[in-house]
């Protein structure tokens, strides 16, 4: 019988663990972990995401500072703000909510964030360290997936894992996390994408399938072998006249049919989503800890 991986419940467990860590950290160092979130524009999804981050910070005892700007803000102003935050000792993590307006170069913005405060794990230095196995910040969504598997008692080592999607946010860092020489790594990894000729051939062989392609219900039951684990990263709005909001949220997996064949599966919503913010909090606390260690060595 299929087991549903409850991202909300696992997220609560990790947040409770980290909250205790924050309280002890504050007591021992007098330092409060701090996160700065930069939001440009009024995209409803981005605003909702930022509100969730603010609530998580408050609940976990993390200092949160928001910077909200209209789309007319210049690239130079954003870069100046980030440079100031890089030097701010009260801020240990900097997150710039993407996407940014077209007149602002996202790569330039991400490169300006200090790697020491790159709690989103998107800086090339963070990604480069991940690839060669050095200590670094892991991208939040892939890191959250690792924790979902770990807390569900699903073994990763030695398993064949197929990732559908090769984005810089999920697919690529996910593959490198799974390849690490670690108990939550050491997997055999296949990455499929829009140019893969026969995706089903690859997914059908996988012990674990991670769907992050951004297409509603793309993964069907015929693409999954019996007993596989399926992690659905996608969250897509599909028009539905019967729904109160006029749409419903679905993942990249046909949950109803695929769940009949799986051993474990994540729902949408309530699966991977809650873990992304949780791991952002985790990384912010880790960054503050590293900052305190550095200060102690300097003194």
**89 given a catalytic annotation:** no
Q: Examine the domain organization and report whether 52 and 86 are in the same domain.
A: yes
> Based on the domain organization, do 110 and 228 belong to the same domain?
no
Same domain, 175 and 225: yes
The answer to whether residues 145 and 268 belong to one domain is: yes
pLDDT at 48: 83
CA distance 264 to 266: 7
* Res. 299: pLDDT tops 80: no
Write down the catalytic residue from 53, 117, 147, 172: 53
Which residues touch 189 (CB under 8 Å, ≥6 apart)?
A: 161, 162, 163, 175, 178, 179
pLDDT at position 208 is 98
- Share of residues in the chain with pLDDT > 90 (%): 88
Name which of 226, 123, 231 is nearest 187 in CA terms.
231
pTM of this structure: 0.94
Instruction: Tell whether 204 and 258 lie within a shared domain.
Output: yes
CATH number of the domain at 189, please: 3.40.50.720
What is the average pLDDT score of the chain?
95
Which whole-number Å values give the CA distances from 14 to 25, 28, 146, in the listed order?
16, 21, 13
* pLDDT exceeds 90 at position 240: no
Structure tokens at 29: 């160092």
Range 206-226 average pLDDT: 97
Asked if residue 156 is part of any domain, the answer here is yes
SS3 label, residue 39: strand
Catalytic-labelled residue, pool 97, 116, 147, 207: 97
Q: Which of 18, 116, 118, 120 is catalytic?
A: 120
Whether 53 is a known active-site residue: answer yes
* Domain identity same for 154 and 229: yes
What range does the domain containing 258 cover? 140-273
More confident position, 240 or 112: 112
Contact 268, 235 (CB under 8 A): yes
Residue 91 lies in a domain: yes
- Residue 126 CA to residue 138 CA, distance in Å, equals 7
Q: Is residue 6 part of a domain?
A: no
Do 261 and 162 share a domain, yes or no?
Answer: yes
Same domain, 148 and 253: yes
Q: Are 38 and 97 in contact (CB under 8 A)?
A: yes
Q: What is the pLDDT of residue 270?
A: 94
What integer pLDDT is reported at residue 49 of this predicted model? 84
pLDDT in tens, 79-126: 999 999 999 999 999 999 988 999 999 999 999 999 999 999 999 999
- Angle (nearest 5°) at CA 237 between 198 and 67: 110
Whole-angstrom CA distances from 84 to 36, 110, 137 are 11, 14, 21
Domain shared by 106 and 151, yes or no: no
pLDDT of residue 44: 80
Same domain, 89 and 187: no
pLDDT per residue as tens digits for the range 134-184: 999 999 999 999 999 999 999 999 999 999 999 999 999 999 999 999 989
Residue-by-residue DSSP string for 278-298: HHHHHHHHHHHHHHHHHHHHH
pLDDT given for residue 194 in this prediction: 94
In the structure encoding, which two tokens stand for residue 157, read together?
């080592």
Q: Are strands 63-69 and 93-96 parallel, antiparallel or unpaired?
A: unpaired
Confidence bin at 131 (pLDDT 50/70/90): very high
In a domain, 124, yes or no: no
Measured CA distances, 109 to 115, 220, 254 (Å): 12, 38, 36
What is the number of domains present in the chain? 2
2-44 confidence digits (pLDDT tens): 999 999 999 999 999 999 999 999 999 999 999 999 999 888 8
Of 241, 238, 243, nearest to 214 (Cα)?
238
Q: Give yes or no: 47 in active site.
A: no
CA angle 244, 218, 197 (to 5 degrees): 160
Name the CA radius of gyration of the chain, rounded: 20
Q: Are 85 and 77 in contact (CB under 8 A)?
A: no
- Average pLDDT over every residue of 232-242: 89
The reply to whether 34 and 83 lie within a common domain is yes
* Residue partners of 136: CB distance under 8 A and separation at least 6: 121, 125, 126, 129, 130
What does the alpha-carbon distance between residue 268 and residue 235 come to, in Å, rounded to a whole number? 7
Taking 90 as the threshold, does the pLDDT of residue 224 lie above it? yes
Confidence of residue 1 (pLDDT cuts 50, 70, 90): confident
Looking up residue 104, the CATH number of its domain turns out to be 3.40.50.10860
Q: Are residues 269 and 202 in the same domain?
A: yes
Alpha-helical runs (H) found in the chain? 7-29, 44-60, 75-86, 106-112, 124-132, 140-151, 171-179, 199-203, 255-258, 273-298
Residue 62 has pLDDT above 80, yes or no: yes
């Amino acid at each position: 019988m299929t087991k549903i991986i409850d991202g909300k419940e696992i997220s609560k467990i990790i947040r409770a663990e980290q909250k205790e860590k924050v309280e002890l950290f504050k007591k021992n160092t007098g330092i409060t972990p701090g996160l700065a979130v930069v939001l440009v524009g009024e995209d409803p999804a981005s605003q909702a995401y930022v509100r969730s981050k603010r609530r998580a910070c408050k609940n976990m005892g993390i200092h949160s500072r928001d910077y909200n700007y209209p789309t007319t803000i210049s690239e130079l102003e954003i870069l100046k703000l980030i440079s100031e935050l890089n030097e701010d000792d009260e801020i240990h993590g900097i997150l710039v909510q993407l996407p940014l307006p077209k007149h602002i170069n996202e790569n330039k913005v991400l490169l300006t964030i200090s790697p020491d405060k790159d709690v989103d794990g998107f800086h090339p230095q963070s990604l480069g360290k991940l690839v060669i196995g050095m200590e670094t910040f892991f991208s939040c969504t892939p890191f959250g997936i690792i924790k979902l598997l770990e807390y569900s008692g699903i073994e990763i080592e030695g398993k064949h894992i197929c990732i559908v999607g090769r984005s810089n946010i999920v697919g690529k860092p996910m593959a490198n996390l799974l390849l690490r020489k670690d108990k939550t790594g050491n997997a055999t990894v296949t990455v499929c994408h829009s140019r893969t000729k026969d995706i089903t051939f690859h997914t059908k062989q996988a012990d674990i399938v991670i769907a992050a392609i951004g297409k509603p219900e793309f993964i069907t039951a015929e693409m999954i072998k019996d007993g596989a684990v399926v992690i659905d990263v996608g969250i897509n709005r599909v028009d539905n006249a019967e729904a109160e909001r006029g749409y419903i949220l679905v993942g990249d997996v046909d949950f109803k049919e695929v769940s009949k064949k799986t051993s474990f599966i994540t729902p949408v919503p309530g699966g991977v989503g809650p873990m992304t913010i949780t791991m952002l909090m985790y990384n912010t606390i880790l960054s503050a800890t590293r900052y305190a260690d550095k200060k102690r060595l300097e003194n």
